[in-house]
Amino acid sequence: MYSVKDVYYTKRKQVQVPSVWKDRQTMLVTQTSVFPRRETSVIQVTATDADDPTHGNSARLIYSILQGQPYFSVEPKTGIIFTSLPDMDREAKEQHLVIIQVKDMVGQQGGFSATTTVTVNLADINDNGPKFQQKLYHFSVPESAAIGTVIGRIMADDSDIGENAEMNYTIEEIDSSDVFDITTDPDTQEGILILNKHLDYESKRRFSIRAVAINKHIDPRIVNLNQFKDLTDIKITVEDVDEPPVFTALEYLLEILENSSTGTFVGAVTARDQDVANNPIRYHIDQNTDLKRMFKIAAHNGTIMIAKPLDRETASWHNLTVSASEEKKNGFISRVPVFIRVLDINDNAPEFSKCYRPYVCETAKPGQLIQTISATDKDDPVEGHHFYFTLATKTSMNTNFTVRDNQDNTAGVLTRKIAFSRQEQVFFHLPIVITDNGDPALSSTNTLTIRVCDCYPDGSCSSGGVEAFALYVGISPGALIAILSCFLITLVLVLLILAVRRYKKGKVNSEKWEEVTENVVRYEDDGVEQDTKAFDVVTLRSHSKRKEPTPRNDMTALIRMSLRQSLRIGPDDDVFREFILERLHEADTDPCAPPYNSLQTYAFEGDGSVAGSLSSLESDSTDTDQNYEYLSDWGPRFKRLSSMYENGVKDRDF
């Protein structure tokens, strides 16, 4: 309710009406109407006048409409605004401005007036259905597209707003509707076309489907007044993509007899190029699945043949991988597993299932069971194994033992005589023939070695030692002794060879050490003659404890002075120079002389030597009071030195 008051001048006031939506039952009168029926009340405007309403017509008001026809009208006395037309459409005009004028004095001249503006907004209802922008859509998709790939988008428009414009998209079945699916984008209200199944260009290249757009929220009062859905056609073209060859089967199972000859046909695999080009196919076997190269394949037609003899007992199944590739450059490759089963034939004779070591007591009675035997066969007949046990023909009249077939693939070995004697015979060899039920039947002769034993009362064998061990390993005692003897002899020879080599190696090392370190050459020059001798260093190292050298410094100077006095010569004397030159010449021409770069020094004499240590570097000092009689106690090697110093002392005394 809005009101305008007259204040002695004309005044214009705008009245805003947020919405004129009323009860829809009273508003929907035709299939195209979005507003209430004719003369539906919208709002009442009221004006007041300060004049005395009881005095004349001064306060008598009257309302009229200045703007808003022909859609609206106003009741002159009450100010109620009504609709005038039933076909108001929001999509045509959403907002209306209605200007209402009020006059006093019943509208006569000389009265006052005022105006107000009422803004009327039309509320939307779902009175429009969706309309596709195109009546035909074209899309293309490669045949290699994955499931869930978006093929394209379609769009339908709706003049309504808000939730009245929301819609759903569906596919109307024409052909292959299950290959595609369509969903609605909630943000853009677009239809998203999605791939629902794998495509195959060679099988079908074009698809035609029909899409339907329908409003999500439909007013049930006008559902029959308008079509709230729209249709469009969609053409989808499948694009060809180069594909790998396709085998006619997901896997192949082949069978071949194990006695088939090389080159025998086993089976064939087939693949085809599904592309339009239909390129030729070449086949080959993955060598990693056929390491022994047992099979070969024809490259042009996929025929598999035997390349080497087969043996079911070695390998009953062969699992191969065969590849098919297009002959063109960079062609695609497909692979398929091929399982080859090798069928059995009766090519193996039965034999003992294990190594038996039976024995018979010396006190055994006739008919006594001493061993139950069984057999095994590498073959695998369809009806199962059945073995027959008999004695060999040459021993069928054996008086010691007999064989009883139990008819269950086992047999019992029984005694036939009263007693056995180890002194007469220790071992009995019983040949037994085992025959299978193959076609043809195969048989083998297996020898059972039976030992005569001196048993305990409970029937257990009491023999032991070498004989028992030999029997355990399956050889005779003599053979076992021979083997052990050979082993011991070989072991002794090996140890002897190692000892000799070790001895020789130590001797060689000792000789080399003596040649290098245990020979000292001593030169003695006394001015008269030369004495060259060699002596062993080992002699000097005879004691384990080494004595520290004790050089006698008080003697070296005296020796040097005494030598000069005894010879009456010195370094500047002609005789001395001549002596040195002669010695140099002899050293130069001596083939046994040491190298020129060698240094001759006095060495430690060794523990227990009375000579002590001599040094040619400590003879500069003099000591005239030294007694040299002890030199004669040093042995024959120092005899010349002792006599020389004794003469020097005597000459000095004179």
Extents of the domains making up the chain: 19-123, 131-239, 246-343, 351-466
Mean pLDDT, to the nearest integer, of 15-31?
Answer: 31
User: Which pLDDT belongs to residue 68?
Assistant: 85
- Band of residue 86 on the pLDDT scale cut at 50, 70, 90: confident
The CATH fold of domain 246-343: Immunoglobulin-like (2.60.40)
Output 236 or 396, whichever has higher pLDDT: 236
In contact, 166 and 217? CB cutoff 8 Å: yes
User: Which pLDDT belongs to residue 182?
Assistant: 92
Q: How far apart are CA 306 and CA 315, in angstroms?
A: 14
Q: What is the helix, strand, coil percentage profile of the chain, to 5?
A: 20, 35, 45
In contact, 194 and 182? CB cutoff 8 Å: yes
pLDDT tens figures, 25-61: 222 322 334 444 557 788 889 888 887 677 767 778 8
Mean pLDDT, to the nearest integer, of 119-137?
Answer: 86
Mean pLDDT, to the nearest integer, of 535-550?
Answer: 47
Q: How far apart are CA 394 and CA 391, in angstroms?
A: 8
Output 571 or 485, whichever has higher pLDDT: 485
User: Which pLDDT belongs to residue 13?
Assistant: 35
Do 19-123 and 351-466 show the same overall fold? yes
Q: Which of 90-94, 128-132, 325-329 has the highest mean pLDDT?
A: 128-132
């209802």: which residue's tokens? 125
User: Which pLDDT belongs to residue 404?
Assistant: 94
- The class level of CATH for 19-123 reads mainly beta
3-state secondary structure of 358: coil
Among the CATH numbers 3.40.50.450, 3.40.50.1390, 1.10.760.10, 2.60.40.60, which is that of 351-466?
A: 2.60.40.60
User: Which pLDDT belongs to residue 190?
Assistant: 92
- Kindly report the average pLDDT of the chain as a whole number: 77
Residue 475 has pLDDT above 80, yes or no: no
- Least confidently predicted of 126-130, 252-256, 305-309, 511-515: 511-515
Residue 554 has pLDDT above 60, yes or no: no
Mean pLDDT, to the nearest integer, of 300-309?
Answer: 95
- Least confidently predicted of 220-224, 269-273, 422-426: 220-224
User: Which pLDDT belongs to residue 467?
Assistant: 58
Output 622 or 297, whichever has higher pLDDT: 297
- Band of residue 412 on the pLDDT scale cut at 50, 70, 90: very high
In contact, 97 and 119? CB cutoff 8 Å: yes
In contact, 199 and 243? CB cutoff 8 Å: no
Residue 92 has pLDDT above 70, yes or no: yes
Q: How far apart are CA 197 and CA 148, in angstroms?
A: 8
Rounded to the nearest 5 degrees, what angle is found at the Cα of 542, between the Cα atoms of 612 and 512?
115
User: Which pLDDT belongs to residue 327?
Assistant: 82
Superfamily of domain 131-239 in the CATH hierarchy: Cadherins (2.60.40.60)
User: Which pLDDT belongs to residue 23?
Assistant: 30
Helix 639-653 to helix 553-567 angle, to the nearest 10 degrees? 70
Q: Is 616 exposed, middle or buried (0-12, 13-18, 19+ CB in 10 A)?
A: exposed
Q: Which of 80-84, 338-342, 574-578, 635-639 has the highest mean pLDDT?
A: 338-342
- Least confidently predicted of 142-146, 182-186, 596-600: 596-600
Provide the token pair at 452.
Answer: 């005569």
User: Which pLDDT belongs to residue 31?
Assistant: 30
Q: How far apart are CA 570 and CA 634, in angstroms?
A: 28
Amino acid code (one letter) for 502: R
In contact, 213 and 169? CB cutoff 8 Å: yes
- Supply φ then ψ for residue 266, to 5 degrees: -100, -45
- Band of residue 616 on the pLDDT scale cut at 50, 70, 90: very low
Output 297 or 395, whichever has higher pLDDT: 297
Q: Is the dihedral of CA 471, 477, 479, 480 positive or negative?
A: positive
Three-state helix/strand/coil letters over 289-307 = HCCCCCEEECCCCCEEEEC
- Band of residue 530 on the pLDDT scale cut at 50, 70, 90: very low
Per-position b or e across 365-390, b if 16+ CB within 10 A of its CB: eeeeebbebbbebebeeeeeeebbbe
Percentage above 90 pLDDT, the chain? 33
pLDDT tens figures, 156-215: 988 888 888 889 999 886 666 689 999 999 889 899 999 999 998 878 889 999 999 988
Alpha-carbon distance values, 318 to 51, 153, 309, 314 (Å): 119, 53, 13, 11
In whole angstroms, what separates CA 544 from the centre of its chain?
68
